[in-house]
Amino acid sequence: MLDIQNLSARIDDFEILKGVTLSIKPGEVHAVMGPNGSGKSTLAAVLAGREDYEVTSGTVRYLGRDLLEMEPDERAREGLFLAFQYPVELPGVSMSNFLKEAVNSVREHQGKEPLSAVELLKMMREKAALVDLNPDLKKRSVNEGFSGGEKKRNEIFQLAMLEPRLAILDETDSGLDIDALKIVAHGVNQLRGPERSFLVITHYQRLLNYIVPDVVHVLVDGRIAKTGDKDLALRLEEEGYDWLREETIAAPVG
């Protein structure tokens, strides 16, 4: 599904990713954890195609293609989805118009007929229920006036609408209370499947109690310092990240 090899990237003169290697198979859920400033969100941004970041070395293959050659919108149409850490407000763009445009862009790309207004509304009702979003949101402007929790649920709602192959969740848990976190995690779990992979970026282990990952990576100073199973997340919760920093620093010497 996704194969990242030795990926380095910088913004302005700051080298943030310093050789990340990571591989995700269809149906797998990978978590990327790490302290603040370790490069987690940069990884998400580079994968989604944010132009502020410059890739300095490495490769990313997605479904056998060179992901870095693709425009952000082409990535989306090819089934890559980013749930934003800070979802953007679009005053004047209604949710229903936004979703119609997005869903039909993807469908057209797949050679499918566009959804009719009725079909779209039906789908919106179904998918909104997954994350307990008020179904009358269709007339509201995208994210405008949404609470923090609603914005995050709206990201998962869009994920459900767009049915991507690979979903990247960028700190979707930040700013959520435990009830909202459970709703979001429940939504994500409903969307797991053998053909859909997830890259879950989080600062806290807490989310991983509810979205149980197959693989956990720890990103420290722009490199994957350790890879393990879900128990690695628990150890990080107890011991923090310091022991990994020491290992990372020690590693090149040893």
Partner 1 sequence: MTAVKTIDIGTDRPEARFAAAFERNRPHILNGRGQPLAEKRNRALDRFLELGFPGPRDEHWKYTNISKRLERPFEIAIAPAVPELRPQDISRFLIEGLEGSVVVLVNGVMVPGLSSIATDGPVIVPIMDAIGNPVFDRHFGRYADADDAVFTALNTAFARHGLFVHVNRGVKAGTLHILNVTTGVRDTFLQARHLFVVDPGASLTVVETHAGVDAEGMFLNAVVEATIGSDARFDYYRVQDDPGTSAVTGTYVYQEGASYASCGTVTLSGGTIRNNVAVLPDAQHCESHLTGLFIGSGEMHIDNHTLVDHAQPDCFSNELYKGVLDDSATGVFNGRVLVRRDAQRTNAYQSNKSIVLSDKASMNAKPELEIYADDVKCSHGATTGRLDAEGLFYLRSRGLTTDRARTIMLQAFVRDVLDAIAVEPLREVLERAVENRLAK
Contact residues: partner 1, CB under 8 A? 48-51, 71-73, 75-77, 81-82, 84, 87-93, 97-98, 101-102, 105-106, 109, 141, 158, 162
Phi and psi angles of residue 174, each rounded to the nearest 5 degrees, phi first: -65, 135
Cβ distance to partner 1 smaller for residue 5 or 97:
97
Residue nearer to partner 1 on the CB measure, 79 or 149? 79
Taking the least distance from each CB to partner 1, the nearer of 79 and 213 is 79
Q: How far is the CB of 127 from partner 1 (least distance, A)?
A: 14
8 A C-beta contact, residue 203 and residue 114: no
Which one, 89 or 136, has the nearer CB to partner 1? 89
Minimum CB separation of residue 130 from partner 1 in Å reads 18
Residue that has been written with the tokens 């020690």 in this structure:
250
Smallest distance, partner 1 to C-beta of residue 208, A: 24
Give the nearer residue to partner 1 in terms of CB position, either 151 or 226. 151
Residue 81: strand pairing partners:
167
The partner residues of 38 in beta bridges, in order of sequence, read none
What is the distance of C-alpha 20 from the center of its chain? 17
Smallest gap from residue 72 Cβ to partner 1 (A): 5
Alpha carbons 126 and 124: distance in angstroms, whole number: 5
Residue whose C-alpha is closest to residue 97's, from 112, 115, 81, 79: 115
Q: State the Cα–Cα distance between residues 57 and 17, nearest whole angstrom.
A: 10
Query: What pairs with residue 235 in β-bridges?
Result: none
CB of 73 to partner 1, least distance (A): 4
